[in-house]
Structure 1
Amino acid sequence: MILGAVLNPINSSMIAVALVPIGQAFGAPPSRTAWLVSALYLATAVGQPVVGRLVDRYGARRLYLVGTALTGVAGLIGMVAPSLGVLIVARVLLGLGTCAGYPAAMSLLRHESRRTGQDNPGGVLTALAISAQTVAAVGPTLGGLLIGFGGWHTIFAVNVPLSLACLVLGVRRMPKATVGAPSGGLDLPGMALFTALLTAVLLLLMSPRVGNLYLVPVAVAAGAGLVVRELRTADPFLDLRVLGGNLPLIATYARNLLTFTVSYAWLYGYTQWLEESRGLSASAAGLVLLPLFVTAIGVSALTGRRRGVRGKLLVGAATQIAACALLLAVHPGTGTWLLVTVAVLAGVPQGLLGLANQNALYHQADPARIGSSAGLLRTFTYLGAMVAAAASAAAFGPGADTAGLHALAFVMLASAALLLVVVLLDRSLRRIGAPAGAASG
């Protein structure tokens, strides 16, 4: 479960230190190499809830095996890519291949909860969160070391042994059946309309210019068609009636979007600035980011087994605001100690917010749709990543300078402040992890 779920985070984090050397290899500016980030998240944001729904209906094992096999194929293509365009294709395939890991893990957790009668998977949920943070911590450092050893191609090559390990473990250890036989056909029209809607929105986010305004009516038409279709079908891909009546779950999705808008702006924007304006190598930039992820892992480990989520969200949102504000004091001559301090402070919300949102979803989602609900949570994660990538590209333009970093910091501050407001307004969070008497009161 953990190995499959971390395939996406490790590919997300390794690419952060590879954007500059890849751009140099192909003569591409940051506005073009940003597509290496955007392509993976476009594919994954669309694919996660679709694959999650397939997991709900057909079980985790077969989707897990197909997805991890595709990840290995994508790694092979990236190793030999002769152009930036082919490399973007490899990233799309990586996005699709890594879609199954997280929904499969959440589905298996629900299956085990039903089988054992124990509905407190805090330790396992924490393990999933910490594993993702661990590979995110290792990712930039590992990516920098791999690039130093064999060039940027090696960050794609690492997917081949990871994929093989997933396949072996999946065949040997994953249950062959975790759901009953599907009762009807898949809602393919609903899936197609959802894909069209999300693709149009994400493409507009990636390239917000006048020439792409045609995507607005495309998104509106696809969205309207999706609503009509899902309200009329007996077994919809997205059950809008249930989702519309589950305001706490909608709030969790909104928090996840805001959380990862800031998180990925740190990962991509700050890393590019460290390399281009601060003059650090890819390996050194990865080491500067290491305290961020180490702090996140420590915070998650210390707080993960506590069932309440509201306190984690409040502290996480407040420290995120403080970290973004401190980023405004950074400039090319800033001492290493301050760079490390910024990274440590940014690690606190990294360790609190994602885990809290994941725990909230586990308790708020319909158990019969836990796979697709978990996939949709990841979709909002990648929407945040897309907003961060678009903001980074707009702020930096032809180069990652300090003025651009400060402009990006204001975007991050606005997102962090809005996150705090959403947390304060959501009174339902008090019931998660509270004793029965307190919850009812």
Structure 2
Amino acid sequence: MMNARSRWLLISVGLGVLLNPLNSSMISVAIARLQDVYKLNYTNVSWVIFSFYIASAVAQPVMGKASDIFGRRTIFLAGLVVAFAASLLAPLSPSFVWLIVFRIVQSVGTSMMVAVGMAIIRIHITEKQATALSVMSIFLSGAAAIGPFIGGTLIHWWDWKAIFFVNIPFVVASFVLAWRTIPKDKPPVTTAKDMSVHKWFVWIDLPGILLFTVGLVSLLIGLLSAKSTGEITFLQVILGVVGLAFLTAFVRHELKAASPFIPLRTFAKYPEMMRVNVEYLLVNVLFYALFFGLPSYLQMVRGVSEFHTGILMLSLGLCSLVTAPFAGRWIDKSGPVPALMVSAILMTFGSVWLVTLDGNSPVSSVCIALAAFGISNGLNGVGLQAALFKSSPKEIIGVASGVFNTSRYLGTILSSLLISIVMGDKFSSGGLQVLGMILTVIALSLVFMSWRRQESEKLQNSQLP
């Protein structure tokens, strides 16, 4: 059994860490409402999703580095303060642009806690550490799973502003507990005072961060604005070219940087680790295309309320939560390969099921696709993490985990982009079927990758003496 201090430390960190997945998932049932409030189409409103994940993809690795100098306790507490301010100000946004600004601030604040939360647990809870890490995983996956239900309930009884105000009790409770339970960090060998401005910029790889952010945002704005207007303008072409140029420069810079933001050279040394990250990216494209696409479809096309949409989406989260513990035991015995194969097959089935849905299908039939994706998500959450650990040398596991999370955010961003391209300004049953066809192709590619891994493992085992 953990001692009382360890349990309270676990709760304080968990309450802070859950804010990132909770706020990324609650927004899925608020899209239709925000379109109505701000009189915008889906493509424009989808930036409330894009902005959060782009900011998270950049902030988490940066804050992980910053914690080495400023201390993990300091970064965690500062993240709670930033999240509190954003959650208080976002509902008061005078325009949609300001709402996006506060969503970015919220993303940075919650990312600060995710970036250092696991490290705090690893360092300060030495007894029953595996149990502590599994509880943290429940905080993360559980918050994402029940987010649509919480969001739908809040919007039904109050309004969209409540999905921001609901963060405040979590933030306050986490701050009070964290202030009392997280031990102060030992003074670092190198501090910010010891570093010149130039060394500081090199250490955090500021050029890499800027190239990545500008390139990704420019490319996305060019693609989304072209889709929303229905025509390609000179400005959109320029934005696309600028985006690709910056991303190309980013790749070249990262290959040469002494302290890269995303260590691309590592992938060249460990190709299996790269394959795991590609799989994780594709898995998240599949999962979040369903996660963000179905709530908007149910509300805009089928006329389902936010509250009932949240209840339907709960089948996704519950299946994921129930599957995760069984997945852990299965993978401990058989390794990640069989679980990942079953997961890919389930996602293929769920994607095909979307193709069969039309305007006359019972609304409850979406639960079949949601259950298939929920079970697969529970298998993937454990299976891909195990595959990552198996393919990554111990000395770079921290870097590998950081890149792994970045793959997740990129997959999420691509899923939102896919929905915008397929659905355009108006959701429809036909658009959902087209989306299902595209997801089926992606899911089949994962089946093939799992089969290749399975065959490779069989070959390796046959060569053993």
What residue is the counterpart of 2:156 in the other structure?
148
Shift of 1:275: 0.7
Which has the higher mean CA deviation after the structures are superposed, 253-262 or 171-180?
Answer: 171-180
Partner SS for 2:356: coil
Cα distance in 1 for partners of 2:164, 2:124 equals 34
**Which of residues 399, 402, 425 is equivalent to 2:452?**
425
Residue deviations 1:81-139 (CA, integer Å, cap 9, x gap): 122111111111121112123331333455469x67x9xx6544443333323222321
Shift of 1:24: 0.8
Cα distance in 1 for partners of 2:210, 2:37 equals 33
Shift of 1:354: 2.5
What residue is the counterpart of 2:303 in the other structure?
279
Partner SS for 1:279: coil
Shift of 1:71: 1.1
Structure 1: runs of 5 or more not aligned: none
Change (3 A) 1:144 1:178: farther
Partner SS for 1:400: coil
1:314 is aligned to 2:314: no
Partner SS for 1:52: helix
Which has the higher mean CA deviation after the structures are superposed, 227-236 or 254-263?
Answer: 227-236
1:403 is aligned to 2:427: no
Contact 1:230 1:240 in 2 (8 A): yes
Shift of 1:16: 0.9
Cα distance in 2 for partners of 1:357, 1:58 equals 31
Which has the higher mean CA deviation after the structures are superposed, 341-350 or 267-276?
Answer: 341-350
1:300 is aligned to 2:324: yes
What residue is the counterpart of 1:174 in the other structure?
182
Letter in 2 for 1:298: V
Shift of 1:302: 1.6
Shift of 1:262: 0.8
**Which of residues 21, 44, 48 is equivalent to 2:33?**
21
Change (3 A) 1:257 1:227: closer
Contact 1:289 1:343 in 2 (8 A): yes
**Which of residues 198, 204, 209 is equivalent to 1:194?**
209
Which has the higher mean CA deviation after the structures are superposed, 342-351 or 241-250?
Answer: 241-250
Partner SS for 2:46: helix
What residue is the counterpart of 2:52 in the other structure?
40
Letter in 2 for 1:16: S
Cα distance in 2 for partners of 1:179, 1:316 equals 45
Cα distance in 1 for partners of 2:265, 2:367 equals 47
Partner SS for 2:450: helix
Change (3 A) 1:55 1:244: farther
**Which of residues 12, 17, 28 is equivalent to 2:24?**
12
Cα distance in 1 for partners of 2:424, 2:276 equals 32
Contact 2:90 2:164 in 1 (8 A): yes
Contact 2:312 2:364 in 1 (8 A): no
Shift of 1:337: 4.2
State how 1:361-440 maps to structure 2 within 5 Å: 361-365=388-392, 370-426=397-453
Cα distance in 1 for partners of 2:415, 2:260 equals 31
Cα distance in 1 for partners of 2:404, 2:427 equals 30
Cα distance in 1 for partners of 2:443, 2:341 equals 11
**Which of residues 171, 175, 183 is equivalent to 1:163?**
171
Shift of 1:247: 1.9
Contact 1:48 1:99 in 2 (8 A): yes
Shift of 1:309: 1.8
Shift of 1:198: 4.2
Partner SS for 2:295: helix
Report how many aligned residue pairs link the two structures: 433
Contact 2:35 2:41 in 1 (8 A): yes
1:50 is aligned to 2:62: yes
Letter in 2 for 1:205: L
What residue is the counterpart of 1:67 in the other structure?
79
The alignment yields a C-alpha RMSD, in angstroms, of: 3.1
Change (3 A) 1:351 1:429: farther
Residue deviations 1:178-228 (CA, integer Å, cap 9, x gap): 795248744257333233224423442354134333345545554555455
Query: Larger RCO: Structure 1 or Structure 2 (Cα < 8 Å, ≥ 6 residues apart)?
Result: 1
Cα distance in 1 for partners of 2:368, 2:257 equals 53
Cα distance in 2 for partners of 1:97, 1:402 equals 37
Contact 1:201 1:219 in 2 (8 A): yes
Cα distance in 1 for partners of 2:186, 2:278 equals 30
Contact 1:50 1:375 in 2 (8 A): no
Residue deviations 1:276-318 (CA, integer Å, cap 9, x gap): 1111000000101111110110000222244322222111111
Which has the higher mean CA deviation after the structures are superposed, 252-261 or 94-103?
Answer: 94-103
Which has the higher mean CA deviation after the structures are superposed, 128-137 or 182-191?
Answer: 182-191
More helix by share: 2
State how 1:86-101 maps to structure 2 within 5 Å: 86-101=98-113
Contact 1:265 1:389 in 2 (8 A): yes
Contact 2:315 2:367 in 1 (8 A): yes
Change (3 A) 1:33 1:430: same
Contact 1:49 1:373 in 2 (8 A): no
Letter in 2 for 1:69: V
Contact 2:280 2:407 in 1 (8 A): yes
Partner SS for 2:207: helix
**Which of residues 88, 93, 114 is equivalent to 1:81?**
93
What residue is the counterpart of 1:133 in the other structure?
141
Shift of 1:392: 1.1
What residue is the counterpart of 2:275 in the other structure?
251
* Normalised TM-score (structure 1): 0.88
1:327 is aligned to 2:339: no
Change (3 A) 1:21 1:228: closer
Contact 1:254 1:380 in 2 (8 A): yes
Structure 2: runs of 5 or more not aligned: 1-12, 227-231
Letter in 1 for 2:411: G
* Percent of aligned positions that are identical: 26
Partner SS for 1:78: helix
Contact 1:194 1:222 in 2 (8 A): no
Residue deviations 1:215-268 (CA, integer Å, cap 9, x gap): 455455545554555455544444443342122222221111101101111111
Partner SS for 2:184: coil
Cα distance in 1 for partners of 2:15, 2:81 equals 13
Letter in 2 for 1:315: V
Partner SS for 1:332: coil
